[in-house]
Structure 1
Amino acid sequence: MKMREIRAFFNLSIIGFLLIAGCVSVSPPMSVESNPTGLRFEEPPELSPEQEALIIRRTQREQEILSSELNAESAAELALLHNPLIERALETLGMPGFDRLQLVHITNPNFNRGRPPSTMETRIERMSSVNAMTWVIMPALDPIGTLEERSGRIRAADEIVALLFLAKRSWVNAVAAKQAVQYYKDVVTALEAGREIMESMRQVGNATELELLRAQTLYADAVTALTNLEITAAVEHERFIQVLGLWGDDADSVKLPDRLPEIPRSVIGPEGLESRAVSQRFDVHAGRLEGLSGEAGVNARADVRTAWLAYRGAYDLATHSINEIVPLANRRSEEQLKLYNGMLVGVFDLVTDATERIDAVNSALEAKKVFWLAEVELQRAMAGVGVSAVSIQEGQQNSFRPGATYHVH
């Protein structure tokens, strides 16, 4: 057996480490007399020149985003610009036709309910969510109107800002699924080479039938895993497209990176998180409006503490997997190859070791995904959205549910 084939097969450890490190026409108005169904059809309202200009600018920005590879922040912006849910929510807030670009890029100069949620952009307080909050919080918390109208405005504002974090989570899941597929394609290629080597050795009597069957089973299992991962990646990609509100050519033009970003070298500390959350969270502002500032503050602090603990734990696990587990697996593989060169172990020992490396890399990839999802959850907790913050019901105590996530169905 040629050493070139062996080395090609067992380059999997290096690969694993690098992977880690349509239009509908509407008829004009018809009278009941001329319309046998008795239904009335009305033309859509004409747009003013200002509204048309807003749509043109927004479309240009959307195309600019789509022309580049999406990251978590650009995905969140695109969702806010394009998802049709936003227009309905803006109408509920009494802001129909509002310039969505302002939601993302401009802080409301009239924001006067306490200090703005944040004065600078950080890893957990992004200006896109801060800006959107300053525009929607005032109409959302307007005490005028019926209980139903007030509840509707609060839900609408919550949906607008929460969509940013939903888009980020969907982006993380889609990119992680894509990265897993690419890694497992290399796994399948390597195990296929190992199976072929074992078949050749079996033909000349240098391998037992049991060793051949084990190699064939490993390859078959890898093919099954790859198929499942490809299905998962396709589903996550479609979910991501749905959150963005895209279809047709725009959906086809979405470009995602091949891998998730590297884990940051430093972790966000808990200092000051609770106090900032109490002063800026949307649900806390809503609770104060209903005379429930104490309950809102307690729940906000608990939500942020829970999110930070999950974030810190995910960071520790991810860095441990990447910096300790995977390098150890690679070193073990190098030693196994030395033993093979000295004819102290057989090919199947190398194949078995390859599966252990695969498990190590898989664990690291999953840990990285969990970390980025945890960071998005911490961002959401600081904003206090993605929750049914206040349920205004006459005669009943308002209900807070921190930590509940918002989903588009």
Structure 2
Amino acid sequence: MVVSAQIAPAPAEKNWREANDAVGQFKRGHADILKWEKQNTPVVQPEASAAARLSLMSPEDAVRQAWLFHRGLVKPMNRIGAANVDLIAKGQWADVDPVWQRKVDDFGELLEVAAQGRKAWIQAVAARQVLKQHRDTLDAAEAGNELGRRMVSVGNWSKLQQAQVQLAQSSAQMNVRRAQHAATQAEATLIKTLGLTGVHSAVTLPDRLPDMPAQALSPQVLDARAEAIAAQLPRAEGMRNGANARLARQAYLASHALALSSRDEVLKVREFITEETVLHYNGMLKSVWDLLGEVSSQSQAVASAIEAQRDFWIAETDLQWVLQGGAPDSFVSLGGGGGEPAAAAGH
């Protein structure tokens, strides 16, 4: 359910009882009225951009664009062949023979550029998704504040009660500003990583991250791949790679478990609570404030799930990179930003 923030002023000649009777004509009461008002408010269409945006609808698009910026990588790409280049671009690194790490000069740089482009794309897409959820939360908070203002205007609420919902709106507005800044920074980082600074100021991205795999890679598969790459590296480098593989593996498995739990447990429970709140509201057992509060809580839960999904895809990229001999500077930290990323071995 979408709750709107743009609300037309209530007619002065109607008293609260008449307004309440009018609300009863809508299935979800105040919430549907607010939604109707926003849908019927004229929308100003943004002007078309003078320069067409570059479309990056998949991480593969980002990887290939990053390679274009590094022209010196043409030689190793020719050496490994188009089939292997496609596998790397699509993120199917497990299907690439690790022997190329030893046989082809600059193969490591080819993988590093691919990993950095892929991770920058993941960050940018996730940041936009999170921004949308915070905007939904702000919509609910603004709707609650406007309803509170109307309640005060007809004498059904005190200014203290309105101040409480006004504070919620201010908090939501601050979160939107933070999320907007994060999205802008993530897009700028993506553009810089792909070598597009001065060429494109914005890019077109999908609305959401790719779906997660239902199952993580098995320990047997991970062990076999770690042994395969270790056999291609000098002893000292192989030992560092082994240490990094353990860190990458831990981050990968933990982030996969957390993301699945967030999606399959937390969000499902939150959706159930929201549906029940709507039913209780329709039966006059819950207030509109309960309903708007639940809409806000659900948006926050979705934002957290997006961040968990983002962390998984970054951890997955780092793991694939390490298992081809790469050495990320650090590994993704989990737990809602509660700590610094784990430093990779040798850094």
Partner Cα separation in structure 1 for residue 62 and residue 89 of structure 2: 17
Segment drifting more, 162-171 vs 329-338: 329-338
Q: Distance in 1 between matches of 2:286 and 2:346?
A: 52
Paired residue for 1:313?
254
Kept in 2: contact 1:124–1:382 (CA 8 A): no
Does the 8 Å contact 1:380/1:386 carry over to 2?
yes
Relative to structure 1, the CA distance from residue 189 to residue 104 in structure 2 (aligned partners, 3 Å threshold; closer, same or farther) is farther
Q: Which residue of 2 aligns with 1:325?
A: 266
Give the equivalent residue in structure 1 for 2:144: 194
1:233-281 Cα shifts (integer Å, max 9, x gaps): 11111111111111344x2473211111122222221213223233235
1:160-309 superposed matches below 5 A: 160-249=110-199, 251-252=200-201, 254-280=203-229, 285-287=232-234, 292=235, 295-309=236-250
1:122, CA displacement in angstroms?
Answer: 8.9
CA deviations over 1:37-83 (Å, ceiling 9, x no partner) = xxxxxxxxxxxxxxxxxxxxxxxxxxxxx864331122112211223
Tell me the equivalent position of 2:12. none
Query: What is the aligned counterpart of 1:125 among 76, 88, 93?
Result: 93
Q: Give the aligned residue type for 1:181.
A: L
1:167-225: CA deviation from partner (whole Å, max 9, x where unpaired): 11111101101111222222222321221112112222333333311211111111111
Given residue 318 of structure 1, which amino acid in structure 2 is its aligned partner? Answer: A
* Correspondence 1:43-82 to 2 at 5 A: 68-82=55-69
Q: Does the 8 Å CA contact 2:59/2:118 hold for their aligned counterparts?
A: yes
Q: CA deviation at 1:361?
A: 1.5
Shift of 1:376: 0.8
2:203 partner SS = coil
Q: TM-score, normalised by structure 2?
A: 0.72
CA distance in 2: counterparts of 1:104 and 1:81, whole angstroms:
16
Does the CA-based 8 Å contact 1:80-1:100 persist in structure 2?
no
Question: What residue number does 2:49 align with?
Answer: none
| 2:23 maps to 1:6 | no
Structure 1 residues 176, 403: CA separation in 2 closer, same or farther (over 3 Å shift)?
same
Contact 1:274 1:304 (C-alpha < 8 Å) held by counterparts? no
Q: Which amino acid aligns with 2:149?
A: E
Equivalent-residue separation in structure 2 for 1:351 and 1:301 (angstroms)? 51
Deviates more, 1:194-203 or 1:224-233: 194-203
State the one-letter code of the partner of 2:224: S
Q: CA–CA distance in 1 between the matches of 2:254 and 2:35?
A: 33
How big is the shift at 1:161?
Answer: 2.1
Question: What SS class does the counterpart of residue 327 from structure 2 fall into?
Answer: coil
| Cα separation, partners in 2 of 1:376 and 1:316, compared to 1, 3 Å | same
Amino acid of the residue matched to residue 31 of structure 2? I
Provide the aligned C-alpha RMSD in A.
3.5
- For 1:5 and 1:305, the matched residues in 2 are separated by 54
Identity of aligned residues (%): 27
Which residue type is aligned with residue 310 of structure 1?
A
Letter in 2 for 1:80: W
Q: Is the 8 A contact 1:10 1:190 kept in 2?
A: no
Task: Give the Cα separation in 2 of the matches to 1:254 and 1:10.
Answer: 31
**Aligned pair in 2 of structure 1 residues 67, 328: CA closer, same or farther (>3 Å)?**
same
Once residues 202 and 99 of structure 2 are traced to their aligned partners in structure 1, the CA distance between those partners, rounded to angstroms, is 30
User: Which residue in the other structure is 2:275 paired with?
Assistant: 334
1:152-163 equivalences under 5 Å are 157-163=107-113
Aligned equivalents of 2:300, 2:274: Cα separation in 1: 13
Distance in 1 between residues matched to 2:151 and 2:29, nearest whole Å: 15
Q: For residue 44 of structure 1, what is the aligned residue in structure 2?
A: none
Q: Can you give the 5+ residue segments of structure 2 that lack an aligned partner in the other structure?
A: 1-19, 37-52, 330-341
For residue 226 of structure 1, report the CA deviation from its aligned partner.
0.9
Q: Distance in 1 between matches of 2:161 and 2:32?
A: 20
Query: What is the TM-score when the length of structure 1 is the normalising length?
Result: 0.62
Q: Contact 2:191 / 2:197 at 8 angstroms: preserved in 1?
A: yes
